[in-house]
Amino acid sequence: MENKELVKKAFEAMFNAYAPYSEYKVGAALLTKSGRIFTGCNIENAAYSPTVCAERTALFKAVSEGETAFVKIAVCGGKGGKPTDYFYPCGVCRQVMAEFCAADFEIITAKTPDDFQVCVLGDMLPFAFSPEKIK
């Protein structure tokens, strides 16, 4: 799967974001090692703290369907669903990625469907607290 195709799916997912409080819409598209794609959007809540990010929606959808091995994730977001810059996942989502993914897991940060950068989890969350630490 080309990065560009995954980014396009992240943009499509962004339009389903439920973000009536922040109005900041985020979309994610996750590719599994088995070749499946799981998309996600942020889902806010009137009580605020139950809000879940787009990346975790995608990851949890995948894990709940038996997928725990991932290749890469594309993410985009912006106020009103109009990104103005590259989107970088929050710390909590990086930590959830570190539960399942190695340092070479690719995070595609998109600004537009044609303008994106590729980072790796190891650079975004160095010295991660990973499952191996508590074995």
Give catalytic residue positions: 55
| Least distance from ligand THU to the Cβ atom of residue 135, Å | 28
| Least distance from ligand THU to the Cβ atom of residue 119, Å | 13
Continuous segment of H or E residues that includes residue 117: strand 115-120
40 to 99, contacts with ligand THU by CB under 6 A?
42, 44, 51, 53-55, 89-90, 93
**Is 9 among the residues that bind ligand THU (CB under 6 A)?**
no
User: What are the phi and psi torsion angles at 62 (to 5°)?
Assistant: -65, -50
Going by C-alpha positions, the residue among 38, 11, 43 that lies closest to residue 27 is: 11
The rounded distance, in Å, linking the Cα atoms of 119 and 106 is 6
What residues line the site for ligand THU (CB under 6 A)? 19, 22, 24, 26, 42, 44, 51, 53-55, 89-90, 93
